[in-house]
Amino acid sequence: MKLTTLKKAWLLVLIILIADQVLKIWIKTHLMLGEEIPVFGNWFILHFTENNGMAFGLEFGGPFGKMILSLFRVIAIAAIGFYLYYLGKHKAHKGYIYTMALIFAGAMGNLIDSAFYGIIFNDSYRQVATMFPAEGGYAGLLHGRVVDMFYAPIIRTTLPNWVPIWGGEFFEFFRPVFNLADSSISIGVILIFLFQNKFFKK
């Protein structure tokens, strides 16, 4: 049976979600917070960290901000999911449908952490977390922390003194720690910018 573009897009979403969650659960149940595993020397490292906020470790307004952000994610993901369905039914450009699938999958992946990880895991401070601990999780519904692990400090150097403002200071690129869901969202957005003339001919 030949898959339609929309079905392929949903399959892409499913693959990304499974890969994202398998990796996050492995990190959460094998490493303590702050532990890391070098993959390609010091250039690419699996570094376990968690954040309460948005992509790449950004924060937003404490517990109340966390709840608002989680609720916003639920609404946004529902809207993106409906939009993805709409695009498929109205024969939008295949590339645009797939890029929206990337964004939807990434947003959904991080929402799962925020919604459920606080319930199904205990915390990772000075211990490796347990899944479904007898004493309960570390937070309530929609108050979980997003698991991040990709750390790629490709450049680590001290800037020359002649550089304005930051001369003589330590410089690192790329500093944020992120996850597969973040990458999926970023790739989707970048592809839309790069190929917008093809995607939006009408």
Higher pLDDT pick, 153 / 102: 102
Residue 193 has pLDDT above 70, yes or no: yes
Please state, in angstroms and rounded to a whole number, the distance separating the CA atoms of residues 8 and 135: 41
Please state, in angstroms and rounded to a whole number, the distance separating the CA atoms of residues 101 and 10: 7
Residue 56 has pLDDT above 60, yes or no: no
Give the lowest-confidence range in 28-32, 139-143, 146-150. 139-143
Q: Which pLDDT belongs to residue 54?
A: 56
Q: Which pLDDT belongs to residue 91?
A: 87
Residue 1 has pLDDT above 70, yes or no: no
Averaged pLDDT for residues 23-40: 96
Residue 53 has pLDDT above 70, yes or no: no
**pTM > 0.75:** yes
Confidence class of residue 160 from pLDDT cuts 50, 70 and 90?
A: confident
182 is catalytic: yes
Q: Which pLDDT belongs to residue 155?
A: 74
Q: Please tell me which residue in 20, 113, 123, 182 is annotated as part of the active site.
A: 182
Please state, in angstroms and rounded to a whole number, the distance separating the CA atoms of residues 73 and 143: 12
Q: Which pLDDT belongs to residue 2?
A: 65
Residue 55 has pLDDT above 70, yes or no: no
User: For the sheet containing 146-151, what is the strand order?
Assistant: 36-40, 44-51, 146-151
Distance of CA 159 to CAs 43, 100, 173, Å? 19, 39, 12
123 is catalytic: no
Give the lowest-confidence range in 8-12, 18-22, 166-170, 188-192. 166-170
Q: Please tell me which residue in 20, 113, 123, 148 is annotated as part of the active site.
A: 148
User: Domain-by-domain residue ranges, the chain?
Assistant: 5-199
